[in-house]
């Protein structure tokens, strides 16, 4: 058996609307579908530019608030220019929690926090630097 494609990554969130606002207004993702599952979970699927994989956000209030363990998981997104990204984040009042850091390959990155404490890594890669 061999899988053929990664379709989506699911993340449970405490406040679906607040989290959608963060991903759409801060990162520029697009909501492509919202629905309620048969068991009552509220779902939103977000499209990332230039990617086939979706992010599925889910909220199930009876489960209580989400508690994200520090440094357990993060999402990494590529940006064209880290300086302009930092400037845009500052204008939106988004705190940079780590960085900027430069790697030996010349890539530069920062971290910010999404609602519920999920970490977001924003990476600027020089031309020709591999993805991983």
Active-site residues: which are they?
A: 121
For 86, residues 6+ apart whose C-beta sits below 8 A from its C-beta are 96, 100, 110
Chain-centroid distance of CA 81 in Å reads 17
How far is it, in rounded angstroms, from Cα 74 to Cα 34? 23
Burial of residue 112 (CB within 10 Å: 0-12, 13-18, 19+) is buried
Alpha-carbon radius of gyration of the chain: 16
């Amino acid at each position: 058996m061999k899988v053929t494609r990664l379709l989506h990554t699911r993340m449970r969130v405490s406040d679906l609307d607040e989290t959608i606002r963060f991903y759409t207004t801060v990162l520029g993702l697009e909501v492509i579908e919202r629905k309620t599952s048969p068991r009552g979970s509220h779902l939103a699927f977000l499209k990332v530019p230039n990617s086939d994989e979706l992010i599925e956000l889910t909220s199930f209030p009876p489960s209580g608030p989400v508690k994200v363990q520090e440094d357990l998981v993060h999402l990494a997104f590529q940006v064209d220019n880290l300086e302009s990204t930092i400037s845009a984040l500052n204008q939106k009042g988004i705190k940079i929690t780590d960085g900027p850091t430069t790697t030996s390959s010349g890539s530069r990155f920062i971290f910010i926090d999404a609602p519920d404490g999920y970490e977001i890594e924003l990476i600027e890669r020089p031309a020709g630097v591999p993805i991983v």
